[in-house]
Structure 1
Amino acid sequence: MNLPDDFQRYLRSGAPRSGDLPEFPLYFEIWPEGEMDQWNNEYQVATYAPGFYGFAGNGGGEMYAFGPDGAVYALPLIGMDAKNAKRLAGSWAEFENMIVAM
């Protein structure tokens, strides 16, 4: 999957790859770019949530993923299914604005 341009810029900027959010799932940790495909394959995202692409986890059973519409979602690792996706933000830029300053 081609990652959204604003997300790629964020990764190149040296900005924090982990942080807190004001609401559930509360914490995120972005996976290393070179491991994103591996994690998506291991979690079988294409099988259980077609059109989604995971890029981070919360350490507590949730994955952050871009949806087919470019929005950011939380997907449960157990019971993963597109119908269980919780929309968190309409884009990476919107998600980035939710990150709690440390």
Structure 2
Amino acid sequence: MGYSLTEGDLDKPAEAALVDGLSANLGVTLPKDYTNFLKEHDGGEGFIGDSYIVLFKAEELADFNREYEVEKYAPGILLFASNGGGEGYG
């Protein structure tokens, strides 16, 4: 599967061992497409059309979800990206 941004860059791959342990570390089952994405591109940022997106690195997922207080305000959601201005995508 290919991924592209209209502007910006996708990062280099995350370490496979880190990605393979994410589901257990986060306490959720991650979609295979998402873990495959992380193994190809460990995050990145840029534009998709007119919308800006910051895709979190694998090692940042737990921290960002804690900082956004997801468990308190949106239980059952896992944020994987933001618009860089305070809105998250889960």
TM range (shorter): 0.5 to 0.7
2:80 is paired with a residue whose SS is strand
- After superposition, the CA RMSD in angstroms is 1.9
Q: Which residue of 2 aligns with 1:7?
A: 34
Name the one with the larger strand percent.
Answer: 1
Change (3 A) 1:38 1:21: same
Name the one with the larger helix percent.
Answer: 2
Asked whether the 8 Å contact 2:42–2:56 carries over to 1, the reply is no
Change (3 A) 1:50 1:15: closer
Report % sequence identity. Answer: 37
1:60 is paired with a residue whose SS is coil
TM-score, length of structure 1 as denominator length:
0.53
In structure 1, stretches of 5+ residues that fail to align are: 66-102
Q: Which residue of 2 aligns with 1:84?
A: none
Q: 1:49 aligns with which of 49, 62, 74?
A: 74
In structure 2, stretches of 5+ residues that fail to align are: 1-27
2:67 partner letter: E
Asked whether the 8 Å contact 2:82–2:89 carries over to 1, the reply is yes
The alpha-carbon deviation at position 59 of structure 1 amounts to 0.9
